[in-house]
Each structure stands twice: as C-alpha cells, then as structure tokens.
Amino acid sequence: MNDNGIVEITFHGRGGQTAITASQLLAQLAFEKGFKDAIAIPIIGAERRGAPIQAFTKISRNKPIKTYESVVNPDYIMIFDTSLLEIPRVKETIKEGVTLLINNAKPINFSLFPKT
C-alpha cells in the first residue's frame, strides 16, 4: 500500500488468458464490497492472442483515486504464465516486499526471479 492508502496490483498475462478481465473483476468486486474507489487500467494495443499484456487495478478503502497512470511499484503482482518471468519488463516489476501470485501447475524455477 502506498502513502495515500491505495493498493496497487499488476497483472501480467498473455492475450486471451483473461488478465484484463481479472483486473476489471477485482476492481468491481472491491467496490461492491465497500471500498471507497476502485479502478481497472487495461493496457490494450495491437496485441494478438498469446502476446504479453498488462493490466492494473488500484483500490482504495478510504479515498477516491485521483491518478490513472500505470502502476510502477505494485503491492501485488499476478502472473498468469511463468514464461513471462523471462521478459525484462516483467522481471523489473518484481521488487522487495511485493506479493506474487503465480498461476503454475509445475514447480517454479526461482532462478528466474531477480535477487531481492
């Protein structure tokens, strides 16, 4: 949670894996459960099915959210495909103190993670 009480979540997925939908559903659920404000920020370009995509969710329990830029220092990161850990821009978002949720049925190769 940053200084203004906003929890920021980054979603990394591939086109067609519903990362953008998950971001939107989380924002809607947070608002319906009594959070003061919640927004989903999809990053949609010319991506094709299977291409790496990002989406962001910001939720605030007490204050309206007044910033709509991408999340730079997320509190939580959801990774829908472990192959995304090999992409530098994905690795760069994993910093000390972040909570990772990774969708994977196999053991995770922790050497893919940056040292924190």
* Containing structural domain, residue 24: 1-82
pLDDT at position 2 is 64
State how far the Cα of 30 lies from the Cα of 39, in Å rounded to an integer. 9
**Stretches in the chain below the pLDDT threshold 50:** none
pLDDT at position 4 is 74
Q: Is 45 within a domain?
A: yes
Integer angstrom CA distances of residue 25 from 10, 41, 59, 105: 13, 12, 12, 23
The predicted-structure confidence for 7-34, as pLDDT tens digits, reads as follows 999 999 998 888 999 999 999 999 999 9
Task: List the beta bridge partners of residue 76.
Answer: 9, 99
Closest CA relative to residue 13, chosen from 39, 47, 36: 47
Give the amino acid at 97: G
User: For the purposes of burial, counting CB atoms within 10 Å of the CB of 11, is it exposed (0-12), middle (13-18) or buried (19 or more)?
Assistant: buried
Q: Is 88 within a domain?
A: no
State how far the Cα of 54 lies from the Cα of 63, in Å rounded to an integer. 25
pLDDT at position 6 is 92
Long-range contacts of 109-114 (CB under 8 A, 24+ apart): 109/82, 112/82, 112/85, 112/86, 113/85
pLDDT at position 115 is 63
The CATH number of the domain holding residue 65 is: 3.40.920.10
pLDDT at position 59 is 97
Domain count, the chain: 1
pLDDT at position 19 is 92
Q: Is 104 within a domain?
A: no
Q: Is 41 within a domain?
A: yes
- Residue spans of beta strands (DSSP E) within 30-106: 37-43, 52-60, 76-79, 99-102
pLDDT at position 40 is 96
